[in-house]
Amino acid sequence: MKTIAELNKIRQESLERVNLRHDRKGTRIVVFMGTCGIAAGARPVLMALIEEVNKRNIENVVVTQAGCKGACRLEPTVEVYKQGEEKVTYVYMTPEKARKVIAEHIVSGQIVDEYAIGAYAE
């Protein structure tokens, strides 16, 4: 290895390999993946979220999954927990909607009201 730039390039490329392994701080995005969620298409949503987070190099965001939360009719659902803020529940998610949530809610801090559960409540 002849330059520090080379070292830093490997470091940058390899970060993804290890950056999942931190404690649970910062923002947590939970995809509900019970049978209902998976059947409704939660997995592509999950993968879209992970892709988008990595593409934008957003740090301190963890994308994780959980079981069914009981609102099966609204699946796929995604919840965003930002530190010090109320959680936001997004429903009827798709990969496209997921990307928009990352862009607007996670990056810019603007909750995407139209996908949030409140928009669908009777």
Partner 1 sequence: MDLFRSHVLVCAGTGCTSSDALKILDAFEALLEKHDLQKEVKVVKTGCFGLCEAGPIVIVYPEGAFYSHIKVEDVERITEEHLLKGRIVRDLLYKESIEEDTIKAIDEVGFYKKQQRVSLRNCGMIDPEVVEEYIAVDGYQALAKVLTEMTPEETIDVVKRSGLRGRGGGGFPSGLKWEFTAKAEGEQKYVACNADEGDPGAFMDRSVLEGDPHVIIESMAIAGYAVGADLGYVYIRAEYPIAVRRLQIAIDQAREKGLLGKDIFGTGFNFDMEIRLGAGAFVCGEETALLNSIEGQRGMPRPRPPFPAIKGVWNKPTLLNNVETYANIPQIFLKGPEWFAGIGTEKSKGTKVFALGGKINNTGLLEVPMGTTVREVVYDVGGGIPGGKAFKAVQTGGPSGGCIPADYLDTPIDYDNLISLGSMMGSGGMIVMDEDNCMVDIARFFLDFTVEESCGKCPPCRIGTKRMMETLDKITEGKGTLGDLDNLERLAKNIKSSSLCGLGQTAPNPVLSTLKYFRDEYEAHVIDKKCPAGVCQALTNFYITEDCKGCTLCKKECPVDAIAGEKKEMHIVDTDACIKCGACVDKCPFKAIIKK
Q: Which residues bind partner 1 (CB under 8 A)?
A: 1-4, 7, 10-11, 13-24, 31-35, 38, 46-47, 50-51, 54, 62-67
Polymer length of the chain: 122
Q: Which is nearer to partner 1, 35 or 110 (CB)?
A: 35
Closest contact distance (angstroms) between CB of 33 and partner 1 is 5
Q: Which is nearer to partner 1, 51 or 104 (CB)?
A: 51
Closest contact distance (angstroms) between CB of 84 and partner 1 is 19
CB-CB contact of 109 with 101 (8 Å): no
Q: Is 113 helix (H, G, I), strand (E, B) or coil?
A: helix
Closest contact distance (angstroms) between CB of 75 and partner 1 is 13
Q: Which is nearer to partner 1, 8 or 114 (CB)?
A: 8
Q: Dihedral angle at the C-alpha atoms of 20, 112, 48, 68, nearest 10 degrees?
A: 80
Taking every pair of Cα atoms in the chain, the longest distance, rounded to a whole number of angstroms, is: 64
Other beta carbons less than 10 A from residue 86's beta carbon? 9
